[in-house]
A and B are shown apart, each in its own frame.
Chain A
Amino acid sequence: MKKKINYFYLVLIIIAGLILVSIISLSLGSVNLSPYEVVKIIFSKKDMNNSLNVIINQIRLPRIILGFLVGAGLSIAGVVFQGVIRNPMVDPYIVGISAGAGTGVTIAIVLNLQFSFLFFSTIPLTAFVGALITVYIVYNLAKTNGKVPVVTFLLAGVAVGFVLNALMSFFMVIGTRDLQKIIYWLLGSLSTASWHDIKLMIPYFLIGNVMIIFFLKDLNLILLGETHAQHLGVDVEKTKKYLIVGASLITASVVSVSGSIGFIGLIVPHIARLLVGPDHKKLYPTAAILGGMFLIISDNLARILLAPMEIPVGIITALTGGPYFIYLLRKTKKEIW
């Protein structure tokens, strides 16, 4: 990179951007408010105006926070998987997480299952469990002699993903009356966001992040190649295990509340890498903030463009992010990875 922006200023700028985007997002919607009013409502203890308070604090604020968590989570998981597997084509869903979650949800919808467990309602629960079971299977399939070779891991994920996608299609064909519901879930959306959702996902999200943060430095060394990393004192297998499990937990928690929103986990890590380089200690926060911000903006577009109808946000992320990324790719050519 020729012009390297000072990392500190860059983080300040994107945090400022995030706050700005959040406030603007809070003011947008069927009831239009000025950003000033938004800030006033959030920081006033008493109910100024009951209905406005509900709109902001119960509807828009959780949606934005969830949007941030989902966007950040997918970007973080993308950064980690791309780093561990050392492959730029990898996204958080590569190891079959979205297929696993999708299969769980499809089965639940088609069989019209209704149950809840520890405050989980049916769909988030089946998605979360489906995702984790899939990762567990893929991880163990890839395991040979106590090691998990990343290429085997990748291939096992792709293979299991194909099987699950076929299963999912099968259930969709059987349960045609639920097709729209399933497809809507698969495309990903934040339309059902609530404080409840946030409470559901946040423990796993946090555990996953803690696991990752502990191994960020080692992930840098793994980028050089696993043998290099080991020669420099990294317990490579242990590190990979924690990183994969951490990223999977984050992805599963995110998928359970938002469906499989595509594109963010693949592209935001690359954009962040263009900005701050490959050092994960910088890449991790940058990608997280950028990803969160990107999803909040996309979700605004999803809400507003065809209002009152809502477009699944996965469509927006791909439609807006794709061309922008292609532009970046053309501009910087080979330096991207």
Chain B
Amino acid sequence: MLKLKGIDFSYGEQQILHQIDFHLRENEFIGIIGPNGSGKSTLLKNISKLLDPDQGFIYLDKDLLNNYSYKDLAKKMAVVPQDSEINFNFTVYDLVMMGRNPYQDRWGRVREKDRKKVDEALQLTDTEKFKDKSIQNLSGGERQRVIIARAIVQEPELLLLDEPTASLDINYQRNIFDLISNLNNKLDMSVLAVSHDLNLISQYCDKLILINQGYIHTIGKVDEVITKENISEVYKTNVDIKYNPITERPYVIIIPHSKNIQRRKKNSFIVHLICGGGTGKDIMSILNDLNIRVSCGVLNRGDTDWAEAKRLNFEVVEIPPFAPIDNKAVQKNEKKISDADLIIVSNTPFGWGNLDNIRVLANFKDKDILFITTPEIEERDFTEGEITALFHKIKKNNNVFETNDNKELCSFINNRYGKTLYD
């Protein structure tokens, strides 16, 4: 459908695009991402013939892009530009009809087919209800749908979009991308969309192109491109990658690095985490982001939490897989606990195997201890009540606290230790 070969482009002396090569196949949906000023919009302008590349070739189907007249090009390719502000009082219907321009003669006579196409597009984009309204009286999201309707009546094989949801709220973001996805799937339009919203575009497109300083950094399937390494490198920011449980697509979360965090006295504050079975994973991530020194114990090797603690280079008191906690490990754990300023107990289930992790806490009457108490301990007690009794006994100590979830955990740490952490 669309093929770029060795595209270079410069504005005056400044070279913006370097050796851009890629291939968009029929019915493919490719997203272009990259930091501000990386050249994504410039690339799109080269493809839409607004700008001519200095070097290289752009093929649209079998023919060079330059061999298309503007009119023929408009029948093959429709563009939804970033800025769709329109200062004139055209009605929505008239504006969408303008998309039929490449099919009309010089006098713009409207034929039955034109009307039919416009009606269909209005229906498809759900803009029928304001077809007689002036385009100026629409909200940003409504206006963008009208512009997409105008693109649809061009009956293009390729749809180019430049930041189609910039400055729209999440409802419209989803709305617009659902619509685009629909055009891609149902009307077999190929789609090339520039977006700075990594998470949004990643949920929809087949492939991603990551552009950095005018070069293609990575091109490939979404989870090949959206990796911690790629994003951190290109955007020069600290991120983590999670997966959307519904689409199973990756998404990027930003880890703020405020001045405070950087200035913190490193490693002066120690947390000992008692967890297991994956219940400590999120807590570890939070503590790691706060740059807190963490020890964990006692964990079985191979446990999810054990793996995560190892990955984050935390100190771990470990025992072999499925083995019960032995005396040596208990002593080691006790040592770690006495070194720590705060002990956090995750909402992990307790059985005979890890009972000692809690039992040891009874010896530390004045330590700060934080229990994550949802779900209730009774529901996680597989020791016929022993752990519950122990739990309530420890709770009578001086500095025992409870929180429900990880969010409360953050605020607890900030409130109680903020001064120590951020100096």
**Chain A residues engaging chain B, CB cutoff 8 angstroms:** 1, 86, 214, 217, 220-221, 223-225, 227-228, 230-236, 277-279, 281, 335, 337
Please name 14 pairs of A and B residues whose Cβ atoms are closer than 8 Å in the assembled complex, sorted by A: A221-B98, A223-B90, A224-B88, A225-B81, A225-B83, A230-B48, A231-B48, A231-B74, A232-B154, A233-B70, A233-B73, A279-B94, A281-B108, A335-B89
User: With A232-B101, A278-B90, A279-B94 known to touch, is A227 a contact of B106 (CB < 8 Å)?
Assistant: no
Q: Is the CB of B49 within 8 A of A230?
A: yes
Pick from B50, B75, B90, B107: contact of A233, CB under 8 Å: B75
Q: Is the CB of B89 within 8 A of A231?
A: no
**Chain B residues engaging chain A, CB cutoff 8 angstroms:** 48-50, 69-75, 78-79, 81, 83, 86-90, 94-95, 98-99, 101-102, 104, 106-108, 150, 154
Minimal beta-carbon separation of B167 from chain A (angstroms): 17
Residues of B within 8 A of A233 (CB): 70-75, 101-102
- Give the complex CA separation of A176 and B75 in angstroms: 62
Minimal beta-carbon separation of A217 from chain B (angstroms): 4
Residues of B within 8 A of A234 (CB): 70, 101
User: With A230-B70, A233-B75 known to touch, is A214 a contact of B49 (CB < 8 Å)?
Assistant: no
Q: Which residue of B lies closest to A228 (CB)?
A: B81
- Give the complex CA separation of A1 and B91 in angstroms: 10
Residues of B within 8 A of A335 (CB): 89
Residues of A within 8 A of B69 (CB): 235
Q: Is the CB of A217 within 8 A of B108?
A: yes
Minimal beta-carbon separation of B73 from chain A (angstroms): 7
Q: Is the CB of A232 within 8 A of B99?
A: yes
Pick from B70, B75, B81, B98: contact of A220, CB under 8 Å: B98
- Give the complex CA separation of A1 and B88 in angstroms: 11
6 tightest Cβ-Cβ pairs between the two chains A and B? A233-B74, A233-B102, A217-B108, A231-B79, A233-B71, A278-B88
- Give the complex CA separation of A236 and B49 in angstroms: 12
Minimal beta-carbon separation of B52 from chain A (angstroms): 10
Q: Is the CB of A86 within 8 A of B87?
A: yes
Residues of B within 8 A of A227 (CB): 50, 79, 81
Pick from A217, A223, A236: contact of B88, CB under 8 Å: A223
Q: Is the CB of A221 within 8 A of B106?
A: no
Residues of A within 8 A of B48 (CB): 230-231
User: With A227-B81, A233-B74, A279-B94 known to touch, is A1 a contact of B101 (CB < 8 Å)?
Assistant: no
- Give the complex CA separation of A233 and B150 in angstroms: 13
Known: A220-B108, A231-B78. 18 other contacts (CB 8 A): A86-B87, A214-B106, A224-B90, A225-B81, A225-B83, A230-B49, A230-B70, A231-B48, A231-B81, A232-B98, A232-B150, A233-B74, A234-B101, A235-B71, A277-B89, A278-B90, A281-B108, A337-B88
Residues of A within 8 A of B101 (CB): 217, 221, 232-234
Minimal beta-carbon separation of B213 from chain A (angstroms): 25
Q: Is the CB of B75 within 8 A of A278?
A: no
- Give the complex CA separation of A230 and B68 in angstroms: 12
Pick from B87, B95, B154: contact of A337, CB under 8 Å: B87
- Give the complex CA separation of A236 and B74 in angstroms: 13
Q: Which residue of A lies closest to B45 (CB)?
A: A227
Pick from A228, A232, A279: contact of B102, CB under 8 Å: A232
Residues of B within 8 A of A228 (CB): 81
Residues of B within 8 A of A1 (CB): 89
- Give the complex CA separation of A205 and B87 in angstroms: 30
Residues of A within 8 A of B74 (CB): 231-233
Minimal beta-carbon separation of B147 from chain A (angstroms): 9
Residues of B within 8 A of A277 (CB): 89-90
- Give the complex CA separation of A225 and B106 in angstroms: 19
Residues of B within 8 A of A231 (CB): 48, 74, 78-79, 81
